[in-house]
Each structure stands twice: as structure tokens, then as C-alpha cells.
Amino acid sequence: MLKVYYNQTILNVTLNTSLETLKNQLNLKNVYAAKVNNKLKELTFKLHAPINQITFLGAWNAAAVNIYEASLRYLVAMASYKLFENISLHFTYYSSSSILVSFPKEITFLPEMFQKIKEEMHLLVSQKLDITKKKLPLEKALQIYQSLGFGDKISLLKQKAPSFATLYFCQNYCNYMYQGLVPNTSYLDKYHLFYHQNGFVMQFVTPFSDEKIPPFQQEPLFEQMLTQSLAFKKTIQMQNVSQINQFAKTAQSQFNLINLAEINHQNQLQQLSAKIAKRASNLKIINISGPSSSGKTTFAKRLQLQLQAFGICTFIIAMDNYYLPLKDIPKEKDGISFDFESIDALNIPLFNQNIYDLLTCKKTTIPQFDFVTRSHTQKDIQTHNHIILVEGIHAINPKLTPFIPRLQKFQIYIAPQHQLSLDFHNPLHLTDVRFLRRAIRDYISRNTTILRTFEFWDSVRKGEFRWIYPNQQEADFVFNSELIYEFNVLKPYLIPLLLQIPETSKYFDKAQYFLNLLSFFKSFDSNLVFHESLLKEFIGGSPFYF
């Protein structure tokens, strides 16, 4: 018999008892994964160790939600294949924490087709069909993918060239989803679909929505940015990892792809600067907001130069300099942890006084915060008819500068929205690249280990849903700070950091997730990255930080 420690109780189970069997014995609902001795496992996992410390995970946990979401993608792909075998589909992340399911432009996806997929999904869920995980020799897996017409999966597998490949089978259908899957289709009864353009939108529970499907909110600017990002990738034929890896072969081809990505940034900057120039005579302040590691600081400096070329003088204020002393930082709900993401963690009265002084051409003393020493210094500043350029996670929050009329503000939201996929059924999470950027920057520039970055990240993400995302529609312009090549460049920096996470750490599984993800990418030479590139903010060597 094996011992199981669960929720302060000790259970005895037989060898090879599955986590699903144990879950059912415990009468647990809405559970999609578990941690066994600190390692993330699918519910089909069979226990074999003499001692097993188990924590079951549901919609409150990001890893479990990833498995549920991947399973929904599997369900959609299976339903579509059963009905329209020769029509491919593409999953991409969309606004309001949803997924956009799209079809080739040569296919007219009619509302009747959408209704059939909905009905087929409902039928598959009601049938409680087992989803079986199998490890097959590479050649066998490639043959199966060939029969299904999954050319993108074939290209990726050939590049990685493992001896074996994992596939998930359900009836006569099979596919592979990167995050893992639930044991059978009956788990997948919590989703919402609606028809949208040449496809449909799929919603599901998130870890930050109280285990409910969040209401869909139209975000026109954000949706426009995602559409433009996808269109750019289709234009340059760079929608999945295997296509990007083709550019890893030579330094010249790497440089060409890097150049394409940087041209895309420059084009956005030119469009933005032209918009600002049209309103410059009425502007007092330009606010730049976005979630952590979006590249706000370098972007602000590049925008400043771009505007100077239009004859517009600006002065940059970084909101990171306005954090209150630790004793004055508000606490989380637990009354113990500090809520550094709250707008109330900032010295807003001092910030507004500084802004007022600068706008009225008075000398003012602004704080300077050193992230390495965690100390404040001060600096005397005076400007003459400059537009103030503010960068920080709360910059477009109306609460920040209430004394400045809205017409005298230009608001910018920046975030990396890469719309990139391992293959057309496995989109990369939009937040992954931000975490990886931050891990490198924290280590190189802020004397912070990757373990500490992991520890902060949950709080950062909660803060984004509370403080940043609700205000993104305040933006007049959305800047997509993604760089299509960055996973390839970041990989050599990240591998040694991620390998530092011990098996005993609760972040070990997440580190393994990133290591596995990065294994699909071929490395690029970071020396080829442009000196003024936004990516230099994270890997070091930016001329903006002399």
C-alpha cells in the first residue's frame, strides 16, 4: 500500500491508483490537476511512490487552468475535425482573457458551421470520452500527424528531433497540447462560445475571476493591436516557432529576422509620433502605462527622441521613483504581504506637485530610486514648456493626475502581444515572455534571483487584473512591444537561471515548464540585437542606460 498525505489526513491506496480515482473517492469537484510531491501531474497520473504528498488544483490555480484551457482547445479541434476534416483552424489569445478560433481566409466560416461545432462539442462532453496519453516513436508520431494534415506539428517535431513524441488519443482523433489534458471530455462543461468574424471566441474560467467565466468586454484598441500583430506575422510568414527557427541557420538570416521585428517597432513609433504631433499644441502630458516588463522605460526614451525629430520637447518622469517607504506601503488582504502593485503604494501628492511645478516651469525636486541599493536620492529639475512624459504601470489611471483635463493628456498602453504559437493548436501565453524578460532584468540589473522573481510574480499578476487591465481602454494608442525573435535570444540567458530552481521549490514545475518551452526554440546571437532595441532593457547593454 502507498501512503497519501492530503489535506491533513493520511490515506492508504494501492499501487498505480490514478489521481482521478483518488479525486473521485474524495468527492472533489472542479479539479483539473494535482501536485504530487511538489510536481505538477495530470489526473491520469498513477501513484507509485511509497509516500505521496498531494494537493489537488482547480480553477483557482494557473497551472490547472492551463490544463483546462488546453483541453478545451483539444475539444474544439476534435469537434471541428469530425465535422470539417479538411479545414484547419488556428488558436490565438484574444482580448478579455479569451481565445480566438480562426479559419483560413479562403474559408467562409458561416454561423451554421459555428452552430454545428457547438453542438458537436456539447455531444462530446456528454459522452464522457476518455482522453488517453501515449508516447510513440518519433516516426510513428510523424506518420499520424501526416495523416491528419498537421504540417506545422511535423516541422516542429523534426526540428526538435526527440526519440519519442507524446500524443493524446480520443476515439479516432489525436493531437498534442503542450500543457497537458484532463482525463475525459466530461470535465469540459465550463466554457462560453460566440461567433466572431471568420471564426469564434472561446471563454473559460481564469485564476483571477473567482472560478467563474469572466464577462466578455469589448476592447477595440486592444483587439485592433492583436489583429495587426497576427496580420504582420502572416505577411512575413512567421506564425509559429518552426518558421522562426528556420532563421537560426546563419548570422545573416538571424539578423534579417531581427531587422524585420525592429522595423515593425519603428513603424509603430512613427505612427504614434505623428498622432501626438497633431495634438501637441494642446498636450500637457503623455502617459505610458502597461504591465510589468512591457518595455515602458526604453519605449519612453525612444519616443522622446522620435518626438524630438518632430520638434516636440519632452521630459521623462518614471513612476518607479515614487514608491513610498516600506512602512507606508499598503498590505494585501492577508494583512502581511505588501501590495507593491497598488496605486496607493505611490506618493501621489508628491508626484502631482512635481508635475504641477514642471508644467508651470518652476524648479522642483524629484525622487530617484535605486533598485539595487533600494534607496532614494533626489534631483533638482526645471523645464521650459516641455510636455511631461510619464511612464509607469499606473500612468493612465485617471486617479493619478486628476487636475489635468483629459484633452491635455495623450495616453499610451504598451504590452508585448506576440500572437505566436508552437503550432496552430498551441498558442504561447501572452504573459510568458514578460515573466522571462523580467527574470533576466531582475538578475542582471536589480540584484534579484529568479526565485525571488517567481515569488513576486503572483502578486504582480493579481495587481495587473486589479489596477492595469481595467484602465487599458483609457489609451489613445496601443503599442505592441513584442519582438518575434526574442524567445530565441532570451533562451541562453534563461537556461542557467531556470536550472537554479531546486526540486524542493514550489516553483520547480514552472521552471520546468519554461525549460521545456524554450527547448523548442533555436538560439540566436544576442550580439545581433540592435543597440537601441527595447530588448536591451532586459538583456543589458542598452545605450539608453549609460
C-beta of residue 393 within 8 angstroms of C-beta of residue 345: no
C-beta of residue 490 within 8 angstroms of C-beta of residue 539: yes
328 or 369: whose pLDDT is higher? 328
Instruction: Enter the C-alpha cell of residue 76.
Output: 474544439
Q: How confident is the model at residue 198 (pLDDT cuts 50, 70, 90)?
A: confident
Q: Is the pLDDT of residue 139 over 70?
A: yes
Q: Is the pLDDT of residue 77 over 60?
A: yes
pLDDT of the residue at 105: 83
Kindly state the average pLDDT of the residues 343-365.
94
pLDDT of the residue at 261: 94
Kindly state the average pLDDT of the residues 274-297.
96
In angstroms, the CA 250 to CA 477 distance is 36
pTM higher than 0.75 for the full model?
yes
pLDDT of the residue at 371: 66
Taken in order 344, 347, 350, 354, the sign of the CA dihedral is negative
pLDDT of the residue at 223: 81
Q: How confident is the model at residue 219 (pLDDT cuts 50, 70, 90)?
A: confident
Query: Mind listing the domains of the chain with CATH numbers?
Result: 2-58 (3.10.20.30), 63-203 (3.30.980.10), 220-545 (3.40.50.300)
Residues 6+ apart with CB under 8 A from 235: none
228 or 432: whose pLDDT is higher? 432
Q: What percent of the chain has pLDDT over 90?
A: 79
Distance of CA 289 to the CA centre of its chain: 16
Beta-strand runs (E) in 215-327: 285-289, 314-318
pLDDT of the residue at 373: 67
Q: How confident is the model at residue 186 (pLDDT cuts 50, 70, 90)?
A: very high
57 or 219: whose pLDDT is higher? 57
Long-range contacts made by residues 2-5, C-beta under 8 angstroms, separation at least 24? Answer: 2/47, 2/48, 2/49, 2/50, 2/51, 2/52, 3/50, 3/51, 3/52, 4/47, 4/52, 4/54, 5/51, 5/52, 5/53, 5/54
Partner residues linked to 55 by β-bridges: 35
468 or 212: whose pLDDT is higher? 468
pLDDT of the residue at 374: 64
Q: How confident is the model at residue 214 (pLDDT cuts 50, 70, 90)?
A: confident
Residues, the chain, total?
A: 546
pLDDT of the residue at 402: 92
Q: Pick the range with the lowest mean pLDDT from 40-44, 131-135, 400-404.
A: 400-404
Cα distances (angstroms) measured from residue 509 to each of 28, 39, 538: 23, 6, 24
For residue range 357-386, list pLDDT tens digits in order: 999 999 999 998 776 666 778 998 888 889
Q: Pick the range with the lowest mean pLDDT from 171-175, 219-223, 431-435, 494-498.
A: 219-223
Q: Is the pLDDT of residue 286 over 60?
A: yes
Q: What single-letter DSSP state applies at residue 246?
A: G
pLDDT of the residue at 134: 96
Q: Is the pLDDT of residue 546 over 60?
A: no
Q: Is the pLDDT of residue 28 over 80?
A: yes
State the maximum Cα–Cα separation within the chain, in Å, rounded to a whole number: 79
In angstroms, the CA 81 to CA 88 distance is 8
Kindly state the average pLDDT of the residues 55-71.
95
For residue range 515-542, list pLDDT tens digits in order: 999 999 999 999 999 999 999 999 999 9
